[in-house]
């Protein structure tokens, strides 16, 4: 990838459930899209789909001068890299534990840390400082702890809200699928509000319980940042979450690209 001034940066984060895609002009995110993750997509299908998103947003794909990609789905990592070559004529920067991030990783095996967690840690630390705890509500709910000096200390991984509730509905035949929403009261008066109460406050309790235990390992209170699809709902009832940033991962990709590929 050539070093120099970026006209437009295409940032892609591949999760197990959704792909977040954003376009930056320098430090400004000018558009973003959220699409479902389908492991079998080829580079041609991905290229045509993303170019269609550009078209409907009145953007020219020819203005993209750089790409950065993080992925926790290996088949799509390969397909997106090939898509970058074929449809944008670029060599995408792929996020790995070996690239420059500005933070260090204090784990038994740094290679085990998922690309999404690295990107979130970078964004959280550079946007809010340290110490910081990042809660990402994705397919899994992940908790990442970063020290005041920018050391990734580790974290926790729990089943996500979506897969947990799907398991409940699949195994309990008489329970209906319900909208994720705040019920009128913690004490549900019917099956629907009872489910909503149990799901919402059950996960709020998980978040506050894990975060409070993590806080015991810091000499000063960390900033707690939430991201991911349901961050807005859980944070509204949480006693520990300070900030919700639904675009945290895309910001992290921009920062990582600048650290690796932009000279001043």
The catalytic residues are 116
| Phi, psi of 137, deg, nearest 5 | -90, 85
List of long-range contacts for 154-159, beta carbons under 8 Å, 24+ apart: 154/106, 154/107, 155/117, 155/214, 156/210, 156/214, 158/206, 158/210
Say how far apart CA 54 and CA 52 lie, in whole Å.
5
List of long-range contacts for 121-125, beta carbons under 8 Å, 24+ apart: 121/146, 121/152, 121/252, 122/252, 122/255, 122/256, 123/245, 123/248, 123/249, 123/251, 123/252, 123/255, 124/225, 124/248, 124/252, 125/150
Closest by CA position to 132, among listed 116, 115, 146, 120: 146
Exposure pattern of 27-50 as b/e (b: 16+ CB <10 Å)? Answer: eeeebbbeeebeeebebeebbebb
The answer to whether the CB of 143 falls within 8 A of the CB of 134 is yes
Max alpha carbon distance in the chain (Å)? 61
Can you spell out the DSSP letters for 162-177?
HHHHHHHHHH-TTPPP
């Amino acid at each position: 990838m050539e070093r120099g001034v970026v006209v437009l940066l295409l940032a892609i984060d591949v999760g197990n459930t959704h792909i977040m895609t954003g376009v930056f002009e320098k430090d400004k995110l000018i558009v973003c899209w959220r699409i479902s993750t389908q492991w079998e997509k080829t580079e041609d299908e991905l290229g045509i789909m993303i170019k269609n998103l550009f078209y409907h947003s009145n953007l020219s794909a020819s203005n993209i001068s750089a790409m950065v990609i993080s992925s926790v789905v290996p088949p799509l990592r390969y397909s997106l890299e090939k898509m970058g070559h074929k449809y944008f004529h670029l060599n995408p920067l792929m996020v790995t534990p070996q690239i420059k991030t500005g933070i260090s990783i204090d784990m038994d095996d740094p290679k085990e840390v998922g690309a999404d967690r690295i990107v979130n840690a970078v964004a959280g630390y550079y946007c809010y400082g340290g110490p910081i705890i990042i809660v990402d509500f994705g397919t899994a709910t992940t908790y990442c702890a970063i020290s005041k000096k920018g050391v990734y200390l580790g974290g926790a991984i729990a089943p996500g809200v979506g897969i947990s509730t799907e398991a409940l509905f699949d195994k309990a035949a008489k329970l209906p699928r319900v909208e994720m929403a705040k019920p009128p009261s913690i004490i549900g008066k019917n099956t629907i509000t009872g489910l909503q109460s149990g799901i919402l406050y059950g996960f709020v309790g998980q978040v506050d319980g894990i975060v409070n235990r993590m806080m015991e390992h810091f000499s000063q209170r960390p900033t707690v940042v939430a991201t991911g699809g349901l961050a807005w709902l859980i944070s509204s009832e949480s006693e520990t979450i300070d900030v919700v940033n639904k675009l945290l991962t895309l910001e992290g990709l921009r920062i990582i690209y600048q650290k690796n590929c932009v000279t001043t």
